Amino acid sequence: MSAAPLLEARRVTRILPGIVPTTLVRDVTLTIGERELVAITGPSGSGKSSLLYLLGLLDLPTSGEVLIRGRATAHMDESERGRTRLATLGFVFQFHFLLPEFSVLDNVMLPMRALGVLPHEAMHERAAGLLTALGLGEHLRKRPDQLSGGQRQRVAVARALANDPALILADEPTGSLDSQASEQVFDILQDVVENRGKTVVAVTHELDLAARMDRRIQLMDGAIAADTLAGPVAR
């Protein structure tokens, strides 16, 4: 019996209620496997971020369901969804959302503290190791406002990897960066797939970046308009 896919959406629809209801995501069915590097593209308002939030259990579908490794999530309570997010998913957003009152090291340790599996010494060691691997070993005790935009986004990637999740979901991870920092962040996400064995799904409006990813899912009016493979998909 074959293993369940890492992530699956089955006829997922999200309708925003109101006087005139707005359909954000429309009847999306897709499967995402291990070690994939996936771009979600489409024009503004096409539902890219809305779909990512549904896949990441940050929002609930109006109809349809999202499964993680074959496990349905629709009937989970908020506590169970939260623990599933912490254990299985990592998030990187356009704006890093680092807590300014905490050091870089403490920001990366936050998801580990929330999950509550590792002792303090192991959390400290893992956070320091991730930051060092991302070229930030000299900045562990700095506050986020002491770093450049590209450095802060690398901290956000380290935080996303803190609990060793199988899947990283990124919403415009290079959208607020200059070209050099964007290239660095993309290289890191590629390395996460190729050398750490993770899956990365990234929303992006940067078509040159999307063209370098293994798979491109294009949305139009909340629905999948195209789902194509490009480049090396075997790892």
- Residue 109 host element (H or E): helix 104-115
Residue 5 DSSP symbol:
P
Mean pLDDT on 23-36: 92
pLDDT digits (tens, 9 = 90+) for 189-222: 888 888 888 899 999 888 888 888 889 999 999 9
Q: What is residue 14's three-state secondary structure?
A: strand
| Cα distances (Å, whole numbers) of residue 163 to 51, 87, 112, 145 | 23, 6, 6, 24
Q: What average pLDDT does the chain have?
A: 87
Identify the structural domains of the chain with CATH numbers, from first to last: 7-229 (3.40.50.300)
Lowest mean pLDDT among 10-14, 36-40, 172-176, 201-205: 172-176
- pLDDT attached to residue 231: 54
Whether this prediction's pTM lies above 0.85 is answered by yes
- pLDDT attached to residue 17: 87
| Cα distances (Å, whole numbers) of residue 106 to 119, 139, 141 | 14, 12, 8
Reported confidence tier of residue 184, pLDDT bands at 50, 70, 90: confident
List, in order, residues 6 or more apart from 203 with CB less than 8 Å away: 39, 40, 41, 48, 49, 51, 52, 170, 171, 172
Residue 234: pLDDT over 50: no
Which has the closest alpha carbon to 176: 143, 205, 199, 201? Answer: 205
User: Quick count: other Cβ atoms within 10 Å of Cβ 208?
Assistant: 9
